[in-house]
Structure 1
Amino acid sequence: MDMTYKNILIAVDGSDEAKRGLEKAVEIAKRNEAALHIVHIVDNGYFASVEALAHASIPDYNEKQGEKLLAEYKEAAEAAGAPSVHTIMETGSPKALIPNKIADQAQADLIICGATGIHGMERVFLGSVSERITRTAKCDVLIVRN
């Protein structure tokens, strides 16, 4: 049984657990000489039901913040010695995109994500992103806790 990973996907949202996850992802990528794919999903679902906000600058702001976040994570991963770092940003539902479309796109054989992230209220009502990834991913999943 082969226990090496070639494409590691780390889901980030700016939370402390995502930062810890990045540290683990970099160490695993270095040990396996694997590509590291850092993904951030701009979840504009919160604003979809309010038409006025759909035309406001909030989605643009969220995308700019996402780009900034990914640049910071990429810089940190490269500085820590990750052999190959890529970034991916999408808009939509993290629960649907990460374990399916993005994992397939990156040919991920390991997905790493935080246990809770920054959307605590969403978790109460809808279930956590990490729980959905664990249930639906086709590859190994590592859940990081602080």
Structure 2
Amino acid sequence: MTLKYQQILVAVDGSKEAEWAFKKSVGIATRNNATLNLVNIIDTRSFAAIEAYDRSIADRAQKFAEDLLADYKKEAVASGVQNVNIVVDYGSPKTMISRDLATKVHADLIICGATGLNAVERFLIGSVSEHIVRSATCDVLVVRTDDAPSDLKGRAEDNQNPTA
């Protein structure tokens, strides 16, 4: 077992949580001299019915993903990450990230943002990050923003070690 990560997969979707996950991934990739794989999965379930009538929706989603990842790649390279790959794919983020893409890039760490889904939504559809944690075969880091609920912040502050 190695204590150094070599292939880091970070899932980004334009959310604040994903941005924080990206920022953490840059630091980890830099410290480990690892390859950073920036991934955006376009969830086809979210626009499948509409897309049948208007093909431009898929094109706009593709353009958004490519622009987002290109911006993140520039930022990662400027921060010292030497190897950055970009992956835009279509499907279910839940299965694509933890199974298909993690295997494809030989990921030894997956980083994603925590979701903002409420308890009812999680019960009905489940969160992407929760599914990744349960199904991934490598380490997973779920990143929360500073906007986490105050009860979570209190617990995190209680557990912080200022000398770490």
TM-score by length of 1: 0.91
Q: Which runs of 4+ in 1 moved over 4 A?
A: none
After superposition, the CA RMSD in angstroms is 1.5
Q: Structure 1, unaligned stretches of length 5 or more?
A: none
Aligned equivalents of 2:47, 2:75: Cα separation in 1 = 31
Q: How does 1:67-78 map to 2 (within 5 A)?
A: 67-78=66-77
Query: Partner amino acid for 1:70?
Result: L
Secondary structure of the 1:77 match is: helix
SS at match of 2:40: strand
For 1:145, give the aligned amino acid: R
Task: With the length of structure 2 as denominator, give the TM-score of the two structures.
Answer: 0.81
**Equivalent-residue separation in structure 2 for 1:46 and 1:54 (angstroms):** 12
Structure 2 segments unaligned to the other structure (5+ residues): 146-164
CA distance in 2, matches of 1:10, 1:104: 14
Whole-Å Cα distance in 1 between the matches of residues 51 and 106 of structure 2?
35
Q: Please show how residues 98-109 of structure 1 align to structure 2 within 5 Å.
A: 98-109=97-108
Which residue number in structure 2 is paired with residue 7 of structure 1? 7
Q: Secondary structure at the match of 2:89?
A: strand
Post-superposition Cα deviations, 1:45-98, rounded to whole Å, max 9, x if no partner, equal 1222x2x53241111111111111111111111111112111001011000100
Q: Match for residue 132 of structure 2?
A: 133
Question: Percent identical across equivalent pairs?
Answer: 49
**Partner AA of 1:129 in structure 2:** V
The aligned residue for residue 47 of structure 1 is: 47
User: What is the aligned residue count?
Assistant: 141
Residue correspondence of structure 1 range 20-39 to structure 2 within 5 A: 20-39=20-39
Of the two structures, which has the highest relative contact order with CA contacts closer than 8 Å and spacing of 6 or more?
1
Aligned residue identity for 2:33: E
CA distance in 2, matches of 1:109, 1:62: 28
